[in-house]
Amino acid sequence: MKKLFLAVRIPINDELEGIIKNIQRNFGFMEMHWIEPQYLHMTLKFFGPTSQKRQTKIINSLTSLFAKTEAFEMSICKLAMFGSRGAPKVLWLGIEQEQELKTLVENIQIEIDKIYSYSDNQNFVPHISVGRIIKTNSNPTFQKQLKKFRDTNLETFTVSNIVLLESIISNDGVEYKEVQKFNLQ
């Protein structure tokens, strides 16, 4: 079985790579596991372990949905965190078009419900994880740096396709292999 998820890949250009390096420098006092720029993505739907038969049904169902879905603009607009103020867990970039993305995710769920019922019971928060926090060495410094980047327009790009990815975990870390690309209109 393959561990599958549906995602928007984030195109990396010099400007975005520079912004990410700046964030890494500013949070360098913390123990972090940084996400490699080529692996940056926004998860739309997590399927988990998936059989070949179910994978085929997912692809067929989503092909018809995305054939009717128009390409759209997406803007990265802030830096935020998951976890509590005292115990942050993940540093992430937020997306400006939250409602449009939530509607897209609802439409994806409607299509998936036609072939099988699978709900991950998570509220969808459009985000791009940039780092997993291992240990916060200075919480006041962390909060100060977070505030520095909180509201900022980082990048706008066109989403012209959505990908079904397989997550492959090895001793070297996680690799994401493209299973299917869905082009938008």
The one-letter amino acid code at 48 reads G
CA nearest to 123, candidates 106, 107, 100, 146: 106
pLDDT of the chain along its 185 residues, tens only? 999 999 999 998 888 888 899 999 999 988 999 998 889 999 999 998 999 999 999 999 999 999 999 999 999 888 999 998 888 999 999 998 878 898 999 999 999 988 876 666 678 899 999 999 998 877 888 888 898 887 766 778 999 999 999 999 888 778 899 999 999 99
Contacts of 27 (CB under 8 A, 6+ apart): 91, 131, 142, 145
| Beta bridge mates, 79 | 93
Rounded alpha-carbon distances, angstroms, from residue 39 to 8, 9, 58: 11, 8, 23
Question: What is the domain count for the chain?
Answer: 1
Q: What is the pLDDT of residue 174?
A: 81
**What's the CATH number where 112 sits?**
3.90.1140.10
Residue 149: both structure tokens together: 């980047």
Predicted TM-score of the model (pTM): 0.89
| Structural domain of 33 | 2-183
Residue 34: both structure tokens together: 């940084």
Cα 44 to Cα 163: distance, rounded to the nearest angstrom: 10
Rounded alpha-carbon distances, angstroms, from residue 109 to 21, 103, 137: 35, 10, 40
CA nearest to 60, candidates 116, 1, 119, 118: 116
